[in-house]
Amino acid sequence: MPSPPDRRAFLAGAALLTVLPLSAARATPDAMAAAIKEVVGEGTIREGKVKLDLPPLVENGNVVPLTVSVESPMTPADHVKAIHVFNEKNPQPHVFSARLGPRNGKAVIATRIKLADSQKIVAIAETSSGAFWSASADVIVTLAACIEDVT
In a domain, 148, yes or no: no
According to the model, what pLDDT value does residue 73 have?
97
DSSP state of 125: E
Spell out the per-residue pLDDT of the chain, length 151, in tens: 555 555 554 444 443 333 334 444 567 899 999 999 999 999 999 999 999 999 999 988 888 999 999 999 999 999 999 999 999 998 899 999 999 999 999 999 999 999 988 999 999 999 999 999 999 999 999 863 334 445 5
Residue 39's domain comprises 25-141
Rounded to whole angstroms, the Cα distance separating 57 from 20 reads 36
Distance CA(112)–CA(108), nearest Å, equals 14
Has residue 78 been placed in a domain? yes
147 domain-assigned: no
Q: How many domains are there within the chain?
A: 1
Task: Check residue 2 and give its pLDDT.
Answer: 55
The DSSP H or E segment spanning 91 is none
Domain of 90, CATH number, reads 2.60.40.2470
